[in-house]
Amino acid sequence: MTVPSGPDVVDQEAPAPADPLALAAAWLPSAADGPGPTMTLSTVGLDSYPDARTVLLSLFDGERLHFHTDARSRKVAELAALPRAAVTLHWPEDARQLVVVGDVAAVTDREARLAYLARSRYLQVLAWVNDHAAAADTPDRRREVWAAFDREREGTDLQPPSTWAGFALTPVRMVFWRGATDAASNRVAYERRTDGSWSTESWPG
């Protein structure tokens, strides 16, 4: 993925912008670009150990990062128990990383449906057939189920299954990292204050 041009917060000679959401908008694709890059979603497991997996960034709406999953998944159970999470996005080719920590809430039905319709046909089908039964099947049986589903709905526009679940993370901390080849890398960390404003601090890379 090519990162859009925007303010470079780790330029030692440039002050960090006051609003990390504006900076995130410069790093992340816009809503018009459709689903964004993959990101690591970290939650607290029901056993109190950290849990992590890769999900697709469905949308950054300027305030929140949206993602979608199966309502029967472990991550949904973990978020129901503790609705807080962290997401990590990494662009190694651009030596950039963004870590966002915050509170998670379910999105509206309309938001969830629009996100589903923006997915590729493959990901739409996946939302229907990727369940625990499929996970226990043989590879050949999974292909048979997939092909049967596709044949039954050939030429039709798919709608989200009842198990389609959408969430949005509202940041309370955002950490922007930019690497370098001729100097030490560093990070700029933003913390949301109780009044909604942001504090800023530089961290070692």
Tokens (6 digits) for 15: 């002050």
Residue 6 DSSP label: -
Angle, CA 189 vertex, CA 184 and CA 192 arms, to 5°: 175
pLDDT tens digits for 103-131? 999 999 999 999 999 999 999 999 999 88
pTM of the prediction? 0.88
Per-residue model confidence as pLDDT tens digits over 119-175:
999 999 999 998 888 888 899 999 999 999 999 998 899 999 999 999 999 999 999
Encode pLDDT of 4-55 as tens digits: 444 444 444 566 788 999 999 999 987 777 778 999 999 999 999 999 999 9
Structure tokens at 98: 């963004």
And the tokens for 86?
């962290």
Cα dist from 129 to 18, 136, 143, 150, 172, whole Å:
45, 12, 10, 10, 35
